[in-house]
Structure 1
C-alpha cells in the first residue's frame, strides 16, 4: 500500500457548544496542523499515487476558508459542536472533493489541535 501525506499548519478559533464545556466554551484559538493522506495499492502511469502539487492546492483552498476564522460561524459547522473530530471529517471531505484524486482508494486527515491531541478521519474513495 502506498501513502502520500502533505502537512499544513494554520490558526482558527472556536468555542465548544456542549453542556458544561469548561474553559473550552469560551472563544479561543488553536494552532492546527492538518496531515492529509492518500492511500492506495497502485500508482498511475507516471509513478504517482497523487500529484502532491494538486494536494497542496486543494489544502490551500480548503484551509484558506477556515484560517483565522471562528469555526462556529462556518456553514459546515451549522448545528454541530465544532470539535476536532468534526473538523477532521469536514477537511477530509472538502479536500478530497477539491483534489479529485483518481488512483488512491482511501483518504485521511489527521488534525492536530495542539502538540498533544489530534483526531483522524478516514474515508474510502
Structure 2
C-alpha cells in the first residue's frame, strides 16, 4: 500500500454544549494542524499516489469553509457537536470528493488539536 500525506492548518471557533466537555461548552477557538493521507495499492502510470500539488490544493479547498468561522453558525453543523473526531470525518469526506477518489483506496485525516492530542478518521473508498 502506498501513502501520500499532505498537511495544512485551520483556525475555527466553536462550542461543545454538553456537560461532558466542561469549560469547552463555551465558545472557544481551536487551531488544528490537518494531515491528510491518501492510500492506493499501486502507483498510477506516473509513479505517484496523487500529485502533491493537487493533494495540497484539494486539502486547502476542503478546509476553506471552516477557516476563521464559528462552526456553531454553519448550517451543516447546527445541532451537532463539532468534536475533533466529527471534523476529521467531515474533512475526509470533502477531500475524497475533491480528489474524485480515482484509484484511491482510503483517505485518512488527522486533526492535531494539540501536540499531545489528536483524532483521526479513515474513509475507505475501495474494498
1:30–1:114 CA contact under 8 A, matched in 2:
no
Structure 1 ranges of 4+ moved more than 4 A: none
Match for residue 109 of structure 2?
Answer: 109
Q: TM-score, normalised by structure 1?
A: 0.93
1:32–1:112 CA contact under 8 A, matched in 2:
yes
Unaligned segments of structure 2, at least 5 residues: none
Q: Bigger CA drift: 94-103 or 31-40?
A: 94-103
Unaligned segments of structure 1, at least 5 residues: none
Task: Give the secondary-structure state (helix, strand or coil) at the position aligned to 1:65.
Answer: coil
RMSD: 1.2
1:9–1:33 CA contact under 8 A, matched in 2:
yes
1:16–1:81 CA contact under 8 A, matched in 2:
yes
Q: Bigger CA drift: 80-89 or 98-107?
A: 98-107
Q: TM-score, normalised by structure 2?
A: 0.92
Matched residue pairs, number? Answer: 125
Match for residue 75 of structure 2?
Answer: 75
